[in-house]
Amino acid sequence: MHGNNTSMKPPWTPESWKKYEAQQQPKYDNPAELAEVISRMTTLPPLVTAWEVDRLRTQLELAEQGHAFVLQGGDCSESFDDCNSTSILRKLKVLIQMSLVLICGSKTKIVRIGRIAGQYAKPRSADVEKRGDVELPSYRGDIVNQAGFSPAERRPDPQLMLRAYEKSALTLNYIRALSEGGFADLHHPENWDLEFVRNTPGSRRYQQLLESLSDSIRFMEAVSAGELTQLSRVDFFTSHEGLLLGFEQALTRLERNRGWYNLGTHMAWIGDRTRALDGAHVEYFRGIRNPIGLKVGNSMEPQQLVELIRILNPENERGRLTLIHRFGAERIRERLPRLIEAVLSANLHVLWSCDPMHGNTQTARNGIKTRSFDDIMSEIFTAFRIHGELKSRLSGIHLELTGEDVTECTGGPGNLTEADLAKDYRSQVDPRLNYEQAMEIAFLIAEQMR
């Protein structure tokens, strides 16, 4: 047991966060409508079950101890328009394909977690956006308002929370169908072909991997004289940033004898901008039983991290808390070691994961927000090295990626330049790795782990 930070706080309820300052919340102009939407949502069925949530926790516990590795990834922000079959299928496909590559490299189980089925709310650096003389509320994700620049589109609309709940449910329903059989069945390697990928060393290695996988499956089935039914489905979990607290609260449910769960997603994380020790987000997160994440950026100091961990994981349970660090390739050497040392010397159980995206955002010469593949790889390799040097363990990776052939990050196997970015840049928020870049990252990490 640890210090009694938690017991000093008044009792937790799904809405006790309201007594604390909540960063990054939209200003709704009709509180009665907001309250009505939240109360309606409270009666809607949950999207996931507490059993699934607990199963993920068990898997994260294994990962924390080195028996599995976590692959978490997806859009910076999902959009309602992308709630369609092709887009969902491609997101699932790239994550499963990456996980196959990682399994071959690490020879351990890969825990797949999408930034999906609820990743609709975004923190912004400014509350308002100005274009010429016109000033409007910033776009905060499809769950809050719309990206178009007109007063009607930028008005925070509580009804969008219901739309987000529905889109999450539609997305999750399709993911469940795909991952339960048919599509995710490893007996059908034709589902696993690479799309859009040039004939690169990476794609040839992938082809070989698929062939040897099929051989192994046939071999195992010959030996065991039957179909390996476990191979016909994959585990896939959902996650999102728990930013919009009214929404999260409405999906928080009491499970008899087990406590409160956020049943809108399997895992939720606290963003780097909303992790104030005495803030509303930390208050909300401390009370739910889900595995939770905490983004750790350049302003985090060791003592503050230790205090946050004690509030968020007072029983020091394994699998409960994932620290997702995101410093940038330039700064990780300076920032990470002190934090690892503080966690080790306080004997705190956490799972370390590296987000090599959010510390590496830059503006290209043509004004477009981008990230370079080399910076991303460099932060990942440095993270593995630092954890190794300090006898800590990097157990996961957190990426912004898409299964589409977009042009948002520079570099990678296709060697995208800044001039290429305009060709097919679709993100309203942060630049994502495209399909080919994401697969290449999986190969490079797999080699590193081998």
Q: Does residue number 375 form part of the binding site for Co ion (CB under 5 A)?
A: no
- By CB under 6 A, residue 46 contacts ligand PEP: no
Binding segment (CB under 6 A) for ligand PEP, from list 23-31, 212-220, 271-279, 403-411: 271-279
Other residues' Cβ atoms within 10 Å of the Cβ of residue 394: 22
Q: Which stretch binds ligand PEP (CB under 6 A): 143-151, 267-275, 373-381, 401-409?
A: 267-275
CA 358, 362, 363, 365: dihedral to nearest 10 degrees?
-150
- Tell me how far apart the alpha carbons of residues 315 and 29 are, in angstroms, rounded to a whole number: 40
8 Å CB contact between 120 and 240: yes
* Nearest distance from C-beta of residue 356 to Co ion, angstroms: 12
Q: Does 75 bind Co ion (CB under 5 A)?
A: no
Span near ligand PEP by CB under 6 A; candidates 51-59, 129-137, 269-277, 370-378: 269-277
Distance (Å, rounded) from C-alpha 275 to C-alpha 259? 23
Q: Does 295 bind ligand PEP (CB under 6 A)?
A: yes
The 26-65 contact track toward Co ion, x by CB under 5 A, reads ----------------------------------------
Instruction: State how far the Cα of 336 lies from the Cα of 121, in Å rounded to an integer.
Output: 27
Q: Determine phi and psi for 443, rounding to 5 degrees.
A: -60, -45
Burial grade of 80 (CB within 10 A; 0-12, 13-18, 19 or more): middle
Pattern 48-87, ligand PEP, x by CB under 6 A: ----------------------------x-----------
Per-residue contact flags (x/-) with ligand PEP for residues 390 to 409, judged by CB under 6 A = --------------------
Least distance in angstroms from the C-beta of 17 to Co ion:
23
Residue 294 near ligand PEP by CB under 6 A: no
Beta bridge partners of 238: 114
Q: For the stretch 299-327, what's the b/e string if a residue is b when 16 or more beta carbons lie within 10 angstroms of its beta carbon?
A: ebebebbbebbbbbbbebebbbbbbbbbb
Dmax over CA atoms of the chain, in Å, equals 73
The answer to whether residues 237 and 206 touch, using CB atoms and an 8 Å cutoff, is no
Least distance to ligand PEP from the beta carbon of 271, Å?
3
Considering beta carbons, is residue 167 or 273 the nearer one to Co ion?
Answer: 273
What number of chain residues touch ligand PEP (CB under 6 A)?
A: 10
Query: How many of the chain's residues bind Co ion (CB under 5 A)?
Result: 2
* SS3 state of residue 449: helix
Asked if residue 271 binds ligand PEP (CB under 6 A), the reply is yes
Query: What single DSSP character describes residue 266?
Result: S
Q: Is 325 in the site for ligand PEP (CB under 6 A)?
A: no
Among 46, 123, 189, 337, binds ligand PEP (CB under 6 A): 123
Residues at the interface with ligand PEP (CB under 6 A): 76, 123, 241, 271-273, 295, 297, 326, 358
Binding site for Co ion (CB under 5 A): 76, 430
